[in-house]
Amino acid sequence: MTRRGPTLFNRVSVGVGLGFLYAPIALLVLYSFNASRLVTVWAGFSTRWYQALAEDSQMLDAVWVTLRVGLISATVATVLGCLAAVALTRSGRFPGRALFAGMIYAPLVMPEVILGLSLLLLFVALGVPRGFWTVTVSHATITLCYATVVIQARLASFDLSLEEAAQDLGCTPLMAFVKVTLPSIAPAVAAAWMLAFTLSLDDLVIASFTSGPGATTLPMRLYSQVRLGVNPEINAVSTLLIAVVTVGVAAATLIQRRRTRA
């Protein structure tokens, strides 16, 4: 089948679309190197906002909290998501499957404000003091649904007969899963973890509801600064975050591509 190449109209719409997506980010990065305090007036190249950032201990604390919340919640979410994906793809009908599937898909589109409010009410009802662990558990709950969908998509196309063959050769079901299935779905598991981690890193609304004293995450800190107006130090943090994410995503893509080729 011969695919028809893109027309001029196709090229222009893709080009304009990408321009629209990237222009604001490019401007933000550019102005993080601005010497002026005014974010929109260019006054020469400078790295002073990065130096200011390195001395901003509140911001650095927030980065540290965010990273720990992200690491723990993404790991919990990936493990639970893996189990949930296996249950949804393998086990056919079990009692309460519809409710289970509903609880997996609903948080994907549910407004964050509602999720945050409901989790907070749970912690209040349980009498748990809010802080690091309540944010972590909340993030694990929401990102678990995303992790499930990513792993489930890969498991759906996995050839079950491979696992059955392993069992015929004497593996227990668990061993067969660990030795045969898991290595084959590993890229999806890694992708699920990355997605969960990024979502946790990025979340403002749920963290604001479920966090307490001493557990201010980076988005919460950024938000309180942004409310006071634009400031070049925020551009500097943002640029660093964008750089980290870009490098991470590019590396993940390259690894995955090399694997599929090999």
Partner 1 sequence: MRRPWLVAALPYAWLAVFFALPFLLVAKLSLSHTVLAIPPYAPQLDLSKGQAGIAAFVHELGVQAYGRLASDRLYLVAYLSSLKLAAVATAILLVVGYPIAYGMSRFGPGARQALLMAVILPFWTSFLIRIYAWIAILKPAGLLNQALGALRLPPAHLLDTDAAVIIGLVYAYLPFMVLPLHAVLERQDERLIEAAEDLGCTPRQAFWRITVPLSLPGIAAGVLLCFIPMVGEFVIPDLLGGSTTLMLGRTIWTEFFADRDWPMASAVAIVLLATLALPIALFQRQQSKVLG
Window 114 to 173, contacts with partner 1 (CB under 8 A) = 114, 117-119, 121-122, 124-125, 137-138, 141, 144, 148-149, 152-153, 156, 173
- Binders of partner 1 in range 185-244 (CB under 8 A): 198, 201-202, 204-205, 208-209, 219, 222-223, 226-227, 230, 234, 238, 241-242
d(CA 85, CA 105): 12
d(CA 162, CA 92): 19
Closest to partner 1 by CB, 7 vs 57, is: 7
Closest to partner 1 by CB, 102 vs 183, is: 102
CB 44 within 8 A of CB 30: no
Give min distance, CB of 260 to partner 1, in A. 11
Question: What residues pair up with 45 in beta bridges, in sequence order?
Answer: 34
- Nearest 5°: CA angle at 133, between 129 and 137? 115
Give min distance, CB of 9 to partner 1, in A. 7
* 31 contributes a contact to partner 1 by CB under 8 A: yes
* 67 contributes a contact to partner 1 by CB under 8 A: no
Of 2-10, 47-55, 57-65, 183-191, which part binds partner 1 (CB under 8 A)? 2-10
- Binders of partner 1 in range 45-64 (CB under 8 A): none
Closest to partner 1 by CB, 110 vs 175, is: 110
- Binders of partner 1 in range 82-121 (CB under 8 A): 83-84, 86-92, 94-96, 99-114, 117-119, 121
